A and B are shown apart, each in its own frame.
Chain A
Amino acid sequence: MSALLSERRVVSLIILMLTVGLILSTFGLEFSDLGGAFSPMFFPRIILGVLLVLAALNVVIDLLANDTAKPIELLPVMIISGAFLGYVLLLPTVGYFISSVCVGIIILLALGLRNPVQILLVPVCSAGALVGLFNHVLKMPLPNSPFFWWI
């Protein structure tokens, strides 16, 4: 018997709880009360209702089953996930080029590369090529930095 709260069971429980929460939220919100198919909550309630049944069944199945997920290298995954979030949050403010170079460097470091030339060159060249192409050739601008309008 594995630990009672395996990763898989936690995920299925979270799905169930989120579904319950969303269903409750459909009753708390104020919408124009036109009834039936006119109500904005008509369709989502059907979908969430089915999802609730499925999620509950899923929790039962996962509690009965007893398999554990393969172990993984958690550290690079955590670092890269964090880098993704930071990347997309920073991108509108500091621009595509700067944020892309940063996220590229973090990914390469997290994957265990240590050669400084490679670590710098790959992100700078890839991001630079994309910015050059879109901002200056195609005139479809990616977000630029507050420092220089051209990158």
Chain B
Amino acid sequence: MIQSIPEALSLILTFEGMLVLTLGTMLGIILGALPGIGSTVAVAMILPFTLTMSQAPAILLLLAIYAGSVYGGSISAILINTPGTPQSAATCLDGYPMAQRGEAGKALGWSTIASVCGGLFSAVVLIFAAPQLAAFALNFGPIETFALILLGLTCIVSVSEGSLIKGLIAGFIGIFLSTVGGDPITGEARFTFGQFQLIAGFNLLAVVIGVFALSEVLIRAAALRDGDTPLVDFDGIVLPKLREWKGRIKGLVKSVLIGTGIGILPGTGAATAAFISYAEARRSAPTRDNFGKGEPDGLIASESANNAVTGGALVPTMALGIPGDAITAVMLATLTLHGVTPGIRLMTENPVLMAAIFSGFFVINLMLLPLGMLVSRMAAPILRIKEAYMLVMITLLCTVGVYFVRGIPFDLLVMAGAGILGFTLRRQGYPMAPLVIGMVLGPTLEISLRQGLIITDGSFAAFFVGHPIAAVLVAAAFGILSLPFVRMLKNRKAS
């Protein structure tokens, strides 16, 4: 693998190779930054063009779109509070308050550096330890996955602004919404009430776009006095100074590790990683009291983690030929199309191609910084147009983005419904981030719990016997849940 890198670099460092990487990354950032257009749709848009390309450029183009769009989602999340992708939902929590304070440029600076660090680290991990980590990931059976998701759910507590109970309600509504549709074990339709369309369930992206982007349109309409003021004050990225990093490095490292680790596990993903990392930062960072009010540490936590996932997700994909999510599945299918069989022999049989993919991935992450600055500079004048125009464009883009996820008009109805519901709930102090967490984690929580019970013949207690990883994770979940009470007791004693 490593010895093939020089040969691989000769594939990448050509005019064609660099052109593909640059254009792909840039396009990925732009598509990700458009509200409503997520990574999946971005990849689907580019897919037809890769069919006529040769092996390495085709995969590199998809990778560039993938990494670029995950980063790009943070731009709209910070500037206009509408995450282009579910994985940027956690970025809104601190990014948007910063932008409202007039520090949009700075917020993007933090998120850019964090994204680049996350991506680069996961690329290094991918190059040096993919086979070993993929083998480790096999230890994660249904029971371990269940425990991990349980741990992930505790972050609902930490992202519940204002009212804990309203946050929990939003979270459980999210989990419930994820159970509508076909049952994952028996295939029967649940909660469809005779409506055939509901058999497909509520699409995550349709709900995310509804509760964040469309409800934002309504909120702005409700508060609008004159339609002429621009949305946000933004002139381009302001990179953080070196001394501003003081005290933040530890959090960055931790988030990158969380992101890479979660990316490797099957059935999770960038949104899960961003939320878990955000929750962990909120628990342990020295600045935790400022979280949710525009704290750079919150931004760093979510953005470094979601970009680290991109590399992590490639570990099982490339080492075992097992895709971790929809996008890596597309990459494997593309490989097949070019006559390369994905599977456990992928790395040994195609060392140069794999080395080219991995080092190309490293280069893509390096390019995020200059290209991110370029794209946000280009976006600045667009953001200066009238707010009313912007709201129309957001609405039209969201429709396009949601329509292309599955191509079914029903999802648009879900989006509109979620928008109105989101507006109503947000107005009454129900935070929307927990709802998204619930919808993201719900399906995995359910299937891993029920699979575990099938394996143990219905004994929940057997989950913890002979499953040390699961036991540790569940203990950690309870630890995090009890932390606010422990702190409360401590404070009482102190006073």
Contact = CB atoms under 8 A, between A and B. Distances in A.
Interface of A: 7-8, 11-12, 15, 22, 25, 31-32, 34, 36-38, 40-44, 47-48, 50-51, 54-55, 57-58, 61, 69, 72-74, 76-77, 80-81, 84-85, 87-89, 91-92, 96, 100, 103-104, 107-108, 110-113, 118, 122-123, 126-127, 130, 134, 138-140, 142-143
Interface in B413-444: 413, 415-417, 419-420, 423-425, 427-429, 442
Contacts of A91: 399, 409, 412
Contacts of B412: 87-88, 91
Contacts of A85: 413, 416-417, 420
Contacts of B173: 15, 51
Given A15-B173, A73-B224, A122-B392, 10 more contacts: A8-B428, A11-B425, A11-B428, A12-B428, A36-B453, A41-B190, A77-B218, A88-B415, A88-B416, A96-B403
Contacts of A111: 221, 224, 227, 388, 391
Contacts of B403: 96, 142-143
A42 to B, nearest CB: 7
A24 B97 CA distance: 41
A68 B468 CA distance: 49
Interface in B337-351: none
Contacts of A77: 218, 221-222, 423
Given A25-B191, A43-B450, A81 B425 contact: no
5 tightest A-B CB contacts, nearest first: A37-B453, A88-B412, A40-B183, A72-B222, A92-B409
B465 interface: no
A43 B449 contact: yes
B396 A58 contact: no
Contacts of B397: 130
Interface stretch (B164-172, B237-245, B306-314): B164-172
Contacts of A100: 396, 399
Nearest to A138: B45
Contacts of B480: none
Contacts of A12: 428
A139 B388 contact: no
Given A81-B420, A96-B399, A47 B179 contact: yes
Q: How large is the interface on B (under 10, 10 to 19, 20 to 34, 35 or more residues)?
A: 35 or more
B416 A84 contact: yes
Given A38-B185, A58-B166, A61-B165, A126 B458 contact: no
A148 B420 CA distance: 32
Given A38-B454, A139-B48, A142-B400, A113 B388 contact: yes
A51 B169 contact: yes
Given A43-B450, A91-B409, A34 B186 contact: yes
Interface in B200-226: 214, 217-218, 221-224, 226
Contact of A73 (B44, B191, B221, B396): B221
B453 A76 contact: no
A100 B453 CA distance: 48
Nearest to A143: B409
B100 interface: no
Given A7-B428, A81-B218, A43 B446 contact: yes
A104 B191 CA distance: 34
Contacts of A69: 427-428
B391 A48 contact: no
A127 B451 CA distance: 46
Contacts of B428: 7-8, 11-12, 69
B444 to A, nearest CB: 12
A88 B409 contact: yes
Nearest to A134: B400
Interface in B171-185: 172-173, 175-176, 179, 183, 185
A87 B416 contact: yes
